Amino acid sequence: MSQISSVAKASLRRITAVGRKEFLHVLRDPRSLALGILMPLIMLFLFGYALTLDVDRVPLAVWDQSQTPQSRELISRFEGSRYFSLQLRATSYPELEQAVDRRDALAALVISPGFAGILEGAGEPVLQLLLDGSDPSTATIAQGYAEAIVQTWSRQISMQQLYRHPAAARAIPRLEIRPRIWFNTDMVSRNFIFPGLIPVIMMIVAALLTSLSMAREWETGTMEQIVTMPVRKWELIIGKLAPYFCIGVVDLLLSVGVGYYVFDVPLKGSLLLLSGLSLLFLVGALAVGMLISIVAKSQLLASQLALLVTVLPAFLLSGFIFPLDNMPAPIQAVSHIVVARYFVTILRGIYLKDVGLDVLWPQALFLLGFAALILSLAVMKFKKKLG
């Protein structure tokens, strides 16, 4: 037992020595500190303020050919909604077209001359909604808002008809839908985006920082000295990862703090579980950068590989912004090997749903296996390089 303890202490001393050397290099290199601390902060504020999926105050143009109290009431419904902002009351179809062409209006409502006839049972009112399809996401959401406003107004008109002509009314079954939103009750897109932003930032920064570690030794010609050091391969890798692990922890604390105190993103789940799984993900992200650094002897090539391996998958295939269910089957299959996908699921589950490890254990198991696999590959590849 004492022999095992002495071996462990010796390994710890060697890891500490390598880690101290790497810490000094990071502290003496302001670019690394700026990349590790300032870049995540910039990304947090930039994405937090600029990136939103909420569609509010859609510019609206209206051409009211009816000019009746009924048409004005419907227009007032659009004006009173927070989803639309009435910008133009047109008097002709070309005027509407010009407004949409200039993007002065993203939606245009055309009310037919015989619109008021609905109250007297003279047929259905004719409404036309023009949408700017150059922004399909906004157009689709605006269409849903407009349909909801019109349907609400139409139900009220139907009730008026029923009260005015009760003898002619038929027995119509009443079906009422009462939607209830779980988790993100106010449907604020920031609460959905911010938890997904944390894995993207951690993946990019961690892999980018560590990808330069070994490559820098190759370029500066100090790799030969490292090879001759009485340090095992895994001890050297862990020691080199230590300072970047600390930077990653600082980034994690900044991300959670900025989300909670600046953007009011609620954290409904366990902070302890969030911290533990985040550190596990951080180890895997650092291992990716270390593996890239071992493979690439050039810092330029290592940084390019790190961006290619982390940025594109983290943004496109993690479910951070784009729903994976809408992607083609082959792309969905590829996304299963993207580690950020599983961490995005974990963070949204903890942040929004307050779920625990009993639900998130498959994702946690993948993070553990990924970190162990990539670290093992890094050690094996480094051994081959030395040989």
pLDDT digits (tens, 9 = 90+) for 176-233: 445 555 677 777 778 888 888 888 888 888 888 888 777 777 777 666 676 667 777 8
Q: Is 108 helix (H, G, I), strand (E, B) or coil?
A: strand
Q: Is 182 helix (H, G, I), strand (E, B) or coil?
A: coil
% of the chain surpassing 90 pLDDT: 11
pLDDT band of residue 381 (cuts 50, 70, 90) is confident
Q: Locate all alpha helices (DSSP H) within the chain, ordered by sequence.
A: 2-28, 30-33, 39-50, 69-80, 93-101, 136-164, 189-211, 213-220, 223-228, 233-261, 271-295, 299-316, 329-335, 339-348, 357-386
Residues 88/99, Cβ–Cβ less than 8 Å: yes
Structure tokens at 6: 């002495």
Q: Among residues 296, 306, 338, which one has the least CA distance to residue 208?
A: 306
pLDDT in tens, 159-170: 766 666 555 444
For the whole model, what pTM was predicted? 0.75
Distance CA 275, CA 295 (A): 30
> Quick one: pLDDT at residue 175?
40
> Quick one: pLDDT at residue 275?
92
Residues 34/251, Cβ–Cβ less than 8 Å: no
Q: Phi/psi at 232 (nearest 5 deg)? A: -70, 160
Q: Is the pLDDT of residue 44 over 60?
A: yes
Average pLDDT over residues 110-126: 66
pLDDT in tens, 61-104: 998 888 888 888 888 988 888 888 888 898 888 888 888 877 78
- DSSP 8-state class, residue 195: H
∠ at Cα 180 (59, 147), nearest 5°?
35
List 88's β-bridge partners, or say none: 61
> Quick one: pLDDT at residue 66?
83
Distance CA 348, CA 195 (A): 6
CATH, domain 58-164, list 3.90.1150.10, 3.40.1710.10, 3.40.30.10, 3.10.20.310:
3.40.1710.10
DSSP letters for 243-303: HHHHHHHHHHHHHHHHHHHTS-----S-HHHHHHHHHHHHHHHHHHHHHHHHH-SSHHHHH
Structure tokens at 330: 């082959």
Domain definitions of the chain by residue range: 15-52+188-386, 58-164
